[in-house]
Amino acid sequence: MSGILTIDRKQLVSQAVRVREGIPTIAVVKNNAYNFGLELAVEAFLEAGISAFATTSLKEAEAIRKMTDDSMVFLLNPTTEFASVRRLDLSITLPSLAYYEKYQEELAGISVHIEYAGLFNRSGFDNFGEVEQVLHHQAQMDEAERFFLEGLWCHFGYADEFDGNYEIERKNWLGFLAGFDRLDITPEFVHSQNTASFVRDGLLPGHTHTRLGIGLYGSKPYSGLNDEMFVQPFELYSSVVQIRDMDENMPMGYGGSFVAGRRTKVAIVDIGYGDGVLRKRAEYDCLINGRRYPIVSLMMSHMIVEVDETVATGDRVYIYHPEMRLDEYTFKGVGANSEQLATLNYNTLTKEITNES
């Protein structure tokens, strides 16, 4: 047996219900739904009462549309694929004044969400004055030539940090929204909050939806949060293929990557970086029979774990487990939650969905 990723579908549904707390939510399902699998996640989130989805890719947006006729499907990245947007009834970002000036004619009848750049600044309008230019221009057009202003949005880049920048970006964004208030413009979707922002603040004033990613998938956006609110719906494990006794100073692995510091036992486990175990992750422990043991070397398809006499060939070795959460390693500096998930390699891992109905 090599690496196995199990995803508990029922847990995924209940995690989505739990984290959104009854608030209308746009589920972020980009990058194959944080690598959970787009189809699995969209269907689970529909079951959890979510009817709006966001992704960065047109290909994924098309796949989502095939799964749901009546959900709002939002393309986060600026697009110029206007024919596909119309055909698939997608909603798109309006990312800048320059984009508007270039594509204003193509936008006729398309649902747009005006984006504010804020501190994150990946794209978006810099200030409300630029939006006023767009609105003024639209007002002079025939109705059939106008876009449909369906939403307003921005993304917070600091919500999982506690250095004061989140407060600044939140204040700037709320100031930007006040401009729409003054003009009495109230679109159907006003959304800015990722998991960290929503957990910190609840739904912000003037907002209609949250826009959640990682919390739906059961990981904490920052440390110190309660395990019961973020239930990890997956496990990653493999098994011990061999136990070897090592004398003091005996080397093992490429270039002697592990040298025993004393007489000891090691387990050879058939999962490695080729399956998506990050090298940084392998600086820490794995879980065997409920106990933690240090990973002492990582190879493409194996790793070496220093064990004791209780561990035997065939035992399961967990990299991620409810008792060994992925977010624990995020907070230890292994990499973002999404980075650890995105690296999992489905070409080599076996994926098993449990609790399907």
Ligand X SMILES: Cc1ncc(COP(=O)(O)O)c(C=O)c1O
Q: Which parts of this chain interact with ligand X (CB under 6 A)? A: 28, 76, 155, 194-196, 211-215, 221
Tokens 């060994």 correspond to what residue? 324
Identity of the residue, 76 or 240, whose beta carbon is nearer to ligand X in the bound complex: 76
User: Cβ atoms within 10 A of the Cβ of 150, count?
Assistant: 18
Catalytic residue among 30, 217, 237, 318: 30
Question: Whose Cβ is closer to ligand X: residue 173's or residue 318's?
Answer: 173
Which of the following is catalytic: 66, 102, 254, 346?
A: 254
What is the spatial distance between Cα 326 and Cα 335, in angstroms, rounded to a whole number? Answer: 10
For residue 237, give the nearest of 279, 271, 282, 196 by alpha carbon.
Answer: 271
Q: Supply the minimum distance, in Å, between the C-beta of residue 13 and ligand X.
A: 17
Looking at beta carbons only, is 239 or 340 nearer to ligand X? 340
CB of 34 to ligand X, least distance (A): 7
Q: Tell me which residue of 82, 211, 65, 99 sits closest to 151, measured CA to CA.
A: 211
- For residue 140, the surrounding DSSP H or E stretch is none
Phi/psi for 298 (5° steps) reads -125, 130
Least distance in Å: CB of 7 to ligand X? Answer: 17
Q: Rounded distance, CA 97 to CA 48, Å? A: 37
Alpha helices in 183-292 (DSSP H): 195-201
Catalytic residue status for 332 = no
- Which is nearer to ligand X, 149 or 199 (by Cβ)? 199
* Closest chain position to ligand X (CB): 213
Neighbours of 225 (CB within 10 A): 16
30 is catalytic: yes
Active site residues: 30, 254
